[in-house]
A and B are shown apart, each in its own frame.
Chain A
């Protein structure tokens, strides 16, 4: 019976961590950079925003089996998927390019489409990338597949080439997933001349905003 008298005290001590009135506080995402593409039209500037809709998940991606591209794509996708807290993005590699929403291949991008081209790199000159997105005649609908190009400028054995291919693939995947602009910050993977291998807090916040903003572009059936 003596021990029984201590139960209320033990209860109070045990419950102390629970006694907080405030709810969880969401982080500020004001660090995000502009991810939409502003294009000039006859009527004035038009803002193009896009993200893969829930109905099109998982996004299907085909990668050419050269220069370790499938591995770079898999790792790049994992980084972008990890940017999201609420299942906004899921993607998978597919073996059949005819059903792919995004096609990743090596080589230089041909001219055409509205191309989001990675600027030439001074910090990592071993490779370059580009993402081509084709729009319909009205300019309101994306015609899949989105094509990503990652081009090695030197022989595969060149030191630093594999890392350049990896970060460039992650950067170009960011464009293909809806981040249509470049970050002004050199520490971000979406900087025009990226030198980092992982997504920054700004990259993650930007991706989150992109996937909760009403898109102005839709995507046609594949």
Chain B
């Protein structure tokens, strides 16, 4: 894994023509849904969660075996986040951007379908340092899996649709300072479509 990441970066940058010819690139756009970030009880139950987030995904993959590839995927998403109380009140709290980098494997399922699994890091960047992000954003480990579907549309170009699920545990320095224990398991599901270019 240590060698795969630098290799991909160098290849994508155009450093090794022979490898570059084998690299598969894709760019997709879509939306990401996320489960609750924070649960609290202040008289009533309070939940903080992100809204549906427009998402841009860039990916590159390199063959490591006849049927398998190792790939790097970068996803950027931005959305509002809000608090909801059991009393029914929903209040917008601002905007938060997330950046995800995952290193993964993919392999064939059947036809144009391929599975993907990976590990990575997720960074939260709040637009304003306030509330749960009073001390700034946070970086979390992440594990994910998904499925890709590709269909040729031109000589070297495929239409690509992806479904992704990932999981991380959320907390922030401010929440820890305020006495929150543990962290919140956050599930995210993303759907994207785009174009892919490379080996089939």
Contacts and interface: CB of A to CB of B under 8 A. Distances in A.
Contacts, number: 102
For the residues of B in contact with A, the DSSP-based class is: strand
A49 to B, nearest CB: 11
Contact of B38 (A7, A24, A29): A24
Nearest to A13: B119
Contacts of B94: 87
Interface string A72-93: 0000000001101111000000
B130 interface: yes
Interface residues of B, number: 46
B43 A212 contact: yes
B131 interface: yes
B138 interface: no
A17 B171 CA distance: 13
Interface string A142-173: 00000000000000000000000000000000
A20 B183 contact: yes
Interface string A11-46: 100110110101111111100000000000000000
B114 to A, nearest CB: 16
A23 B141 contact: no
Interface of A: 1, 3-4, 6-7, 10-11, 14-15, 17-18, 20, 22-29, 54, 81-82, 84-87, 201, 204, 208-209, 212-213
